[in-house]
Each structure stands twice: as C-alpha cells, then as structure tokens.
C-alpha cells in the first residue's frame, strides 16, 4: 500500500509540474524538472533508508521523532477532536490538560526554553496534516515534502534567472543538484519547509506591491519564521535592502546596504529594551548551551534514555550573551560552517560526502575569484543580498553548533545562495578563454 500511494502522489505532483505555469522557465524543460523531482524523491527515500537500517535509534532520529509525534497528535482526532484542533492550530493548547499528549512526544519541549517559538512544533503539525493523505505511511510524507521544497528551489532559481542568463546551467546545478540540498532538503525535516517558504518569500518579495504577492509573502514569511526563526532573521536585512533598491534609482548601493545592516543590528541587539522579545545574543548563548548538553550525552529522549554522544562533536568557543563575545567567536564560526568537516575529520559516510562537497565548493569559489568580472560589471546589489544572508546564517550556526553533522544539515538553505554569490562575480567569457573544457561542460 505504501508503494502504491508513494507512486500515485509522485505521479500527481509530476502532473502539476507539467501543468502549472509557475514551473515555466526558459531553457529548462518540464521533463528536466520532473526528473529532478524524481531524483529528490529517491534522495528522500535514501535518507529514510539511512535512518531506518543504519542509524536505528528511532527515538533520537529527527525524521522519526517528528513523524511519530504527529501520530500522537493525529490519533487525538478520534478521541477528542477539540483537543486535536487546538494542538494543530496552536490556539489554546498551552494548558495542563494537554500535558499527557506532549509528554509522549519527542522534543515537543526544549531542554532550555526561550522566548523564540519552538520550531519543532511546525514540522510535527505538518506531518499531522499529511497524515490525512498518507494513512500513516512514512514515504508519502517524503513525496509531499519533496514537492514543497521543489517549489521553493524553483522559486529561488526563477528569482536569479534574469541576472544569470549566461550561466543558466550553473545556476540550475547550484540550486537543484548540490548533494547536501538534495539529501537533507528531500527528507521529512524542517529543511524542506524552510526551502519552500524561503524560496517563495524571496520570489514574491520583489512583487510586494501586488495584492497576491503581499498575501503569499505574509503566509510563507510566517511559515519561515515558525520553521526556523534565525533563517527569517538572516534573510530580512537583504530583502529590505533589495526592496529599497528596487523602489529607488539604484545608486549608492554600499551606503544603502550599510545603512540597513546598521539599523537592523541596532534594533535587533536592543529589542529586549522596548519589547518582551528576548535579546538575540541571549538566545544564541542558550542555544549553544543546549547543543553542548546534546553533544555531551546528558540529554535524554522521551523514554528517559540517554541520547548517545554524536560522533562528529567539535570544540567551539563559549559564546557569552554579549556583542564582544559574538564578534570574537565569528571567525571560528565562519570557518566551521564554510570549511568543515576537514579532510582529517571524515569518519562516517555522510561526513565524507559533506567533506568532498566542501572541497568542490571551495574550488569553485577560488575559480570565480580568479576569473572575476570587472568590478563595474558586477550586480553588487544581488551580491550584497546573497552574501548577507549566507554570512548571517553561517555566523548563527557556527556560533551555536558543536556537531559537524548538524552544521552540514543546518547550512543547507544557505548553500544555493553561497554559490549564486560567486556566480554573480564570475566572468564566463574569461574562464572559457583560459579553460575551454568549461564551455563544453556549461555551454
């Protein structure tokens, strides 16, 4: 039954890809897009197989702990529909009468609470909704999350398509075919929802003064904030800058970008002084403490069993809730997120693949720097937009996460933007003259 449902829903979504105008892109056929979607489904099923037959602890596996928690919520529909609706919507669900449900769910509650919304609730609720269609079969959820993330990636590709007309194939590969994005972005995880919401948010933000774009941005912006709040925070300065650039004469780019970054930093670092929102530096420090606990083996799962120490733990500097500490830790954070795992840290198959991917990305970055365009020919507004998102996200991840496996996964939404940043700098004609093989590969 699971195989039949998985194939049926896959065929339905492929039908939508062929029929929806949203997926129309010059130079990229619907057949190619359908093949990429199928590849995503196989990647998602591979992730399921890894966490089913290799990493067998279901209670600590992200793909299962959120899926299993959704069953507890979904089954409540039969016994208490009112409680089900309250848990699903999050309205009136924070009372003691809901404790019997939440106590059974893995990671519904954080080890350390903060004023930031617990994004685990979002993926649990997503799985609960999909259960209406899946009848509890896991890989049907894989197909649904693959389609959503595919929509988001398509939106990212379409956003930068006009600026990279001479590098369509490079853009396509950078967005759809990065191994980490394929693997982690195709599983029943938060990353799929993040890619969906992030892509549509960026795509429609440029059309913000149209009614339908405003409605879509409000919806997916909220979903992005609820799926991973720091991704929402990281993208907002760049989006505000782009909106300013699009509605002005496009001059003084550096001044405008610097102004946006400074205002954002001042407001963000003092937000606790005029609202009830916790200072972000305090939140980051708490997140590091939470990760340190997880990496030291002192955290237990929902069955009070100690969670094993991850095999890819690294040492990172202690992050104090101060701006000085954050700045001091920033170089290490960027190195860890951009370059690690190093070659000598490749201990497991997934870490090996991530290490190889890092080397390829580094080689590509060096190539783009060597064959950079004349500075006057670079579309700096888009470079600033992409690089600000990547740097902010890498800083947040690197300052808080002492587990290489988690770093590899968490940076997935930023990876396409990292490569797009350097594609915007690359002079394709210059590289073709020096390396003719490049033209044969990316003609």
pLDDT digits (tens, 9 = 90+) for 220-277: 999 999 888 889 989 999 999 988 888 777 678 889 899 999 998 898 888 878 877 7
| Whole-number pLDDT of residue 397 | 94
- Output the pLDDT for position 209: 75
| CA–CA distance, 127 with 121 (Å, rounded to integer) | 10
Instruction: Average the pLDDT over 356-379 and give the result.
Output: 90
Q: Among 84, 96, 97, which residue's Cα sits nearest to residue 124?
A: 84
Query: Is pLDDT above 90 for 2?
Result: no
| pLDDT the model gives residue 376 | 86
Q: How far is CA 113 from CA 119, 282, 332, 372, in A?
A: 12, 12, 26, 46
Read off the pLDDT of each residue in 425-440 and give the average, rounded to a whole number: 78
Q: What is the 8-class DSSP label of residue 403?
A: B
Least confident of 12-21, 195-204, 342-351: 342-351
Of 415, 422, 420, 403, residue with least CA distance to 178: 415
Report the pLDDT value the prediction gives residue 429, as an integer from 0 to 100.
Answer: 85
Q: Which region holds residue 222: left if phi is over 0, alpha if psi is between -120 and 50, else beta?
A: alpha
Enter the tokens of residue 424: 């915007």
Q: Whole-angstrom Cα distance, residue 387 to residue 375?
A: 16
- Of 419, 433, 443, the residue nearest 363 (C-alpha): 419
Looking up tokens 């080890």, which residue turns up? 111
Write the burial class of residue 145 (CB in 10 Å: 0-12 exposed, 13-18 middle, 19+ buried).
buried
pLDDT band at 305 (very low <50, low <70, confident <90, very high): low
Q: Note whether 430 and 371 are within 8 A (CB).
A: yes
What backbone phi and psi angles, to 5 degrees, belong to 58? -65, -35
Position 105 pLDDT exceeds 60: yes
Give percent of the chain above pLDDT 70.
92
380 and 344 in contact (C-beta within 8 Å)? no
Give residue-wise pLDDT tens across range 124-163. Answer: 999 999 999 999 899 999 999 999 999 999 999 999 998 8
**How many whole angstroms separate alpha carbon 437 and alpha carbon 81?**
62
The pLDDT assigned to 111 comes to 54
Report the 10 Å Cβ neighbour count for 277.
14
Give the relative orientation of helices 120-134 and 190-205 as an angle to the nearest 10 degrees.
Answer: 100
The pLDDT of residue 303 is: 58
38 or 27: which leads in pLDDT: 38
- Pick from 69-78, 91-100, 352-361: least confident: 91-100
Q: Are 392 and 326 in contact (CB under 8 A)?
A: no
Is the pLDDT confidence value at 26 over 80? yes
Which residue has better confidence, 210 or 43?
43
Cβ contact 193:145 at 8 Å: yes
Alpha carbon 437 to chain centroid, angstroms: 33
What DSSP state is assigned to residue 55? S
Q: What is the pLDDT of residue 425?
A: 93
pLDDT of 110 strictly over 70: no
pTM, to two decimals: 0.92
Q: Is the model's pLDDT at 175 over the cut of 90?
A: yes
Residue 302 has pLDDT above 60, yes or no: no
Q: Mean per-residue pLDDT for 57-65?
A: 76
Q: What is the mean pLDDT of the chain?
A: 87
pLDDT at 176 over 90: yes
pLDDT interval class at 441 (50, 70, 90): low
Question: Residue 429 burial by CB count (10 A; 0-12/13-18/19+): exposed, middle or buried?
Answer: exposed
Q: Could you tell me the two tokens for 185?
A: 């972005």
Residue 123, judged by CB atoms within 10 A of its CB (0-12, 13-18, 19+), counts as buried
pLDDT band per the 50, 70, 90 thresholds, residue 59: low
CA atoms within a 13 Å half-sphere pointing along the CA-CB vector of 311: 9
Report CA 435 to chain centroid distance, whole Å: 34
405-432 pLDDT tens trace = 889 999 999 999 999 999 999 988 888 8
Q: pLDDT (tens digit, 9 = 90+) per residue, 310-337? A: 777 888 999 999 999 999 999 999 999 9
């Amino acid at each position: 039954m699971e195989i039949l449902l998985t194939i049926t829903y896959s065929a339905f979504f492929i039908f939508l890809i062929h029929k929806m105008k949203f997926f129309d892109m010059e130079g990229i056929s619907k057949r190619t897009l359908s093949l990429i979607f199928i590849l995503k489904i196989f990647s998602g099923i591979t992730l399921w197989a890894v966490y089913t037959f290799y990493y067998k602890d279901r209670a600590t596996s992200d793909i299962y702990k959120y899926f299993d928690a959704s069953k507890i919520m979904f089954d409540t529909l039969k016994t208490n529909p009112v409680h089900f609706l309250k848990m699903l919507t999050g309205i009136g669900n924070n009372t003691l009468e809901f404790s019997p449900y939440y106590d059974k769910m893995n990671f519904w509650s954080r080890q350390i609470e903060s004023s930031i919304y617990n994004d685990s609730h979002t993926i649990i609720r997503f799985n609960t909704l999909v259960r209406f269609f899946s009848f509890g079969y896991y890989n049907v959820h894989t197909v649904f999350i693959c389609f959503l993330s595919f929509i988001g990636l398509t939106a990212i590709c379409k956003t930068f398509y006009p600026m990279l007309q001479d590098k369509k194939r490079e853009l396509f590969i950078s967005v759809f075919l990065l191994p980490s994005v394929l693997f982690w972005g195709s599983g029943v995880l938060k990353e799929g929802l993040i890619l969906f919401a992030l892509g549509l948010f960026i795509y429609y933000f440029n059309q913000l003064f149209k009614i339908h774009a405003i409605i879509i941005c409000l919806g997916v912006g909220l979903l992005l904030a609820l799926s991973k709040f720091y991704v929402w925070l990281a993208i907002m300065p760049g989006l505000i800058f782009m909106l300013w650039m699009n509605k002005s004469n496009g001059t003084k780019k550096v001044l405008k970008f610097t102004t946006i970054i400074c205002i954002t930093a001042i407001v963000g670092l003092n937000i606790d002084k005029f609202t009830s929102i916790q200072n972000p530096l305090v939140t980051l420090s708490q997140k590091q403490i939470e990760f340190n606990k997880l990496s030291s083996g002192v955290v237990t799962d929902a069955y009070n069993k100690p969670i094993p120490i991850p095999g890819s733990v690294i040492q990172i500097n202690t992050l104090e809730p101060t701006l000085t500490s954050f700045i001091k830790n920033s170089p290490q954070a960027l190195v860890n997120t951009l370059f690690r795992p190093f070659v000598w840290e490749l201990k497991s198959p997934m870490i090996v693949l991530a290490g190889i991917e890092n080397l390829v990305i580094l080689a590509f970055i060096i190539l783009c720097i060597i064959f950079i365009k004349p500075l006057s020919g670079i579309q700096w507004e888009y470079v600033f937009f992409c690089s600000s998102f990547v740097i902010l996200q890498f800083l947040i991840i690197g300052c808080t996460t002492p587990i290489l496996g988690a770093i590899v996964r968490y940076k997935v939404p930023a990876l396409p933007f990292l490569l797009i940043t350097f594609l915007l700098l690359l002079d394709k004609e210059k590289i073709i003259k020096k390396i003719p093989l490049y033209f044969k590969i990316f003609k």
